[in-house]
Every structure is written in structure tokens, then in C-alpha cells.
Structure 1
């Protein structure tokens, strides 16, 4: 899984809004991609997504 793009549609994560929550040691946040998939990021790296990759 590439950590800088949405695994479903390939949208660059740098263009998605950041979340306000910042835990003390590690940062786990969830962001909604433009394709509708929820992405779980741990310290800025995508570790999971709610929808499967699009096939083309």
C-alpha cells in the first residue's frame, strides 16, 4: 500500500485536510478521501482504508 496516496483512487494525501487530534506519542487519524473512502493514518502513513482498490 503506497503511503502517500489513497489506496482506492490514488488521490494525493497531501491534498486532504489534516485532523485536529494529536495524541501525545503516536498520531492516529482518520480522513475522508475525495472518493469517499475513510483512510486510517498512523504518523502520516496510510495503514488502512474502508473500500477496496478500484480496478481499471
Structure 2
């Protein structure tokens, strides 16, 4: 899995708007992808998603 892209649609995380991030701690945050999936990032790398790849 590419940890810098959404596992569902492949969108690059660097291209998501800043307002898409919901910080939880300095290491963990949640990001809403353009496809609607919530992504969990740990130290900037995707470690989980709410929807699996099609």
C-alpha cells in the first residue's frame, strides 16, 4: 500500500486541502479524502481507512 495516497481512490494526500485534517495528537490525525473515505495517518503515513479499495 502506498502510504502517501488514499488506499481507496489513490488520491495523493499532499493534494488534500489543509481543512481536511482533523488533528488528534501530534502524531495521529484523521483526513477526509476527496472520495469520502476517512484516513487515519500516523506521523503523516496512512495506517487505516474507513473504506477499502474497490
TM over 0.5: yes
TM-score by length of 2: 0.82
User: Which 4+ runs in 1 deviate beyond 6 A?
Assistant: none
Q: How many pairs were matched up? A: 52
Provide structure 2 residue ranges, at least 5 long, that are not aligned to the other structure: none
Distance 1:6 1:44 in 2: 12
Which structure has the highest strand share of the two? Answer: 2
TM-score by length of 1: 0.79
Report the RMSD for the aligned CA atoms in angstroms. Answer: 1.7
Task: Answer with 1 or 2: which has the greater Rg.
Answer: 1
Provide structure 1 residue ranges, at least 5 long, that are not aligned to the other structure: none
